[in-house]
C-alpha cells in the first residue's frame, strides 16, 4: 500500500503525457473570460475549467494491469504515463483549475476478488494522497472492487468516510453484470443513502463467452472508438428500464461523453417501452424526466454534432466539462476544448456553467478548497 501511494508522488514517466502531445499540445485551449465567456488570445490560459473526467494511473495499477496480461487496455496502444507533476503542468496549459481523478477501464478487477480488494484500496489511497497534497487542484472518484458487493460496500465506507473522496467511479458492466442489475441494489442503496456522486465510465462489453477485462472488440478496433459509446448507452438504458433511477433518486450519476448515444436514441428508448411488456414500465414523459435528472460530461467529441442532441434531453445546469486526459493526448484535448470554448451552441452564461459553475455546485469541496487556496 505504501508503495502504491509513494509511486504517484514522484516524477517518473513525465515523457509519456507530454511527449504524446507534440508542439501543438503545449499551447492549450484559449482561456474563457469568466464574465463574458469570450476568447481572449493567449498561449497560456489561466486555470478556469473544472475537469470531472480525468484519469490517473498509479504505478501499482499499471503493474497490476501488465501482470494480468493487459498490455493494451481496451485495445489502445499502451497504458499512458501519469504522475502528479505532469498532470499539474498539463492542467495549467489546458486551463484546468481542478481535475477529479478516476481509474479508467478496465478498472481494478482482473479476475481475482482478493487482488481486486487490495488494488482498489491501493489506488484509492494513492489518489487521496495526491488530493491531500493539492486539495484545490484535484478531486477523487474512488474505485470499487466490483462485482464483489460486500467488498465494494466496505470500500465505499473507507473511501468516503476516511479518504473523503468526492464520489465513486462505476464501470458500465462488471463481468457482464450491468449497472441496474438487482445484484447491485445493496450498493446503490448505500450510495443513495449517502447522496453520493457516481461517475459512470464505459468499459468493454462482456458477452457470455468473454474471458475477462479488455477483451478484443467484435471488429478488433480499440473499444473506445465505438464500443464505449454503446456500453454507456446500454448501462443508462438498463438503469431506466429496471427502475434503478427511480428507486435510488439521490445518487448523482454523471454520464460521460456527452451522453454517448443516449440523447439521439432517447425517443426510441422511450417509444419502444409499450412493445416490450416491461413490468411497471415508465411512460415516455417519465423517461425524459429521468434522463434530464442525470449529469453529463463533454469529454471527447461533443462539438459540433453531439451537443445539440444532448441539449434536447439534458438540463444545462447538469452539463460538465471533461477532458479524458491522459488517455486522450493533450494536443487532442486542447483542440476539443477550443471547440467548446468557441462554439456558438453555448452562450456566455451557459458556457460558464458548463466549464465550472455546474461542477462547483455538484462538488462543493473543490470550490471551498480553491477559495482557501486563494486566501
Half-sphere exposure of 59 (CA within 13 A, CB side): 16
pLDDT at 277: 85
Percent of the chain at pLDDT exceeding 90: 78
Q: What is the CATH number of domain 45-373?
A: 3.20.20.140
Q: 14, 83 in Cβ contact below 8 A? A: yes
Mean pLDDT in the chain?
87
- With bands split at pLDDT 50, 70 and 90, how would you rate the model's confidence at 369? confident
Q: What is the pLDDT of residues 27-66, one digit of tens each?
A: 233 333 333 333 333 455 555 999 999 999 999 999 999 9
Beta strands in 90-241 (DSSP E): 96-102, 138-142, 167-171, 173-174, 177-178, 197-201
92, exposed or middle or buried, with CB in 10 Å at 0-12, 13-18, 19+? middle
Q: What is the pLDDT of residues 93-148, one digit of tens each?
A: 999 999 999 999 999 999 999 999 999 999 999 999 999 999 999 999 999 999 99
Whether the pLDDT of residue 19 is over 50: the answer is: no
Whether the pLDDT of residue 212 is over 60: the answer is: no
Through-space distance between the first and last CA atoms of the chain, rounded to whole angstroms? 34
| Cell numbers found for residue 185 | 441494489
Whether the pLDDT of residue 164 is over 50: the answer is: yes
Q: What is the pLDDT of residues 267-277, one digit of tens each?
A: 999 999 888 88
As a whole number, mean pLDDT of residues 351-371 equals 93
Annotate 135-158 with b (16+ C-beta within 10 A) or e (fewer). Answer: bbbbbbbbbbbbbbbebbebbbeb
pLDDT at 46: 55
> Of residues 21 and 343, which shows the higher confidence score?
343
Tell how strand 177-178 and strand 173-174 pair up.
antiparallel
pLDDT at 47: 58
Whether the pLDDT of residue 153 is over 70: the answer is: yes
Whether the pLDDT of residue 11 is over 80: the answer is: no
| Cell numbers found for residue 120 | 482498489
Amino acid at each position: 500500500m505504501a508503495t502504491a501511494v509513494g509511486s504517484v508522488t514522484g516524477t517518473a514517466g513525465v515523457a509519456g503525457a507530454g511527449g504524446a502531445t507534440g508542439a501543438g499540445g503545449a499551447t492549450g485551449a484559449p482561456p474563457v473570460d469568466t464574465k463574458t465567456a469570450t476568447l481572449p488570445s493567449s498561449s497560456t490560459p489561466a486555470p478556469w475549467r473544472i475537469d470531472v473526467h480525468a484519469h490517473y494511473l498509479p504505478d501499482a495499477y499499471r503493474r497490476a494491469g501488465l501482470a494480468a496480461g493487459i498490455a493494451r487496455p481496451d485495445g489502445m496502444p499502451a497504458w499512458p504515463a501519469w504522475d502528479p507533476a505532469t498532470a499539474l503542468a498539463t492542467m495549467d496549459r489546458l486551463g484546468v483549475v481542478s481535475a477529479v481523478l478516476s481509474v479508467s477501464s478496465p478498472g481494478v478487477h482482473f479476475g481475482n476478488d482478493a487482488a481486486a480488494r487490495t488494488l482498489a484500496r491501493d489506488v484509492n489511497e494513492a489518489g487521496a494522497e495526491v488530493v491531500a497534497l493539492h486539495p484545490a487542484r484535484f478531486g477523487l472518484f474512488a474505485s470499487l472492487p466490483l462485482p464483489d458487493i460486500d467488498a465494494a460496500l466496505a470500500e465505499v465506507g473507507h473511501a468516503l468516510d476516511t479518504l473523503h473522496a468526492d464520489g465513486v467511479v462505476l464501470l458500465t458492466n462488471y463481468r457482464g453484470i450491468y449497472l441496474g442489475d438487482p445484484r447491485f441494489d445493496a450498493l446503490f442503496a448505500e450510495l443513495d443513502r449517502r447522496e453520493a456522486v457516481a461517475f459512470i465510465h464505459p468499459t468493454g462489453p462482456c458477452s457470455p463467452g468473454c474471458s475477462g477485462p479488455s477483451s478484443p472488440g467484435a471488429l478488433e478496433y480499440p473499444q473506445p472508438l465505438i464500443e464505449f459509446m454503446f456500453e454507456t448507452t446500454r448501462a443508462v438504458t438498463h438503469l431506466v428500464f429496471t427502475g434503478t433511477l427511480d428507486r435510488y433518486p439521490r445518487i448523482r450519476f454523471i454520464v460521460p461523453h456527452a451522453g454517448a448515444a443516449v440523447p439521439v436514441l432517447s425517443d426510441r428508448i422511450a417509444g419502444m417501452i409499450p412493445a416490450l411488456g416491461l413490468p411497471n414500465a415508465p411512460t415516455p414523459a417519465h423517461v425524459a424526466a429521468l434522463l434530464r435528472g442525470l449529469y453529463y460530461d463533454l469529454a471527447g467529441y461533443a462539438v459540433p454534432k453531439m451537443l445539440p442532441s444532448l441539449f434536447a434531453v439534458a438540463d444545462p445546469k447538469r452539463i460538465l466539462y471533461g477532458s479524458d486526459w491522459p488517455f486522450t493526448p493533450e494536443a487532442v484535448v486542447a483542440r476539443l476544448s477550443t471547440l467548446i470554448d468557441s462554439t456558438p451552441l453555448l452562450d456566455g452564461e451557459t458556457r460558464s456553467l458548463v466549464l465550472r459553475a455546474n461542477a462547483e455546485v455538484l462538488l462543493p469541496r473543490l470550490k471551498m478548497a480553491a477559495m482557501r487556496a486563494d486566501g
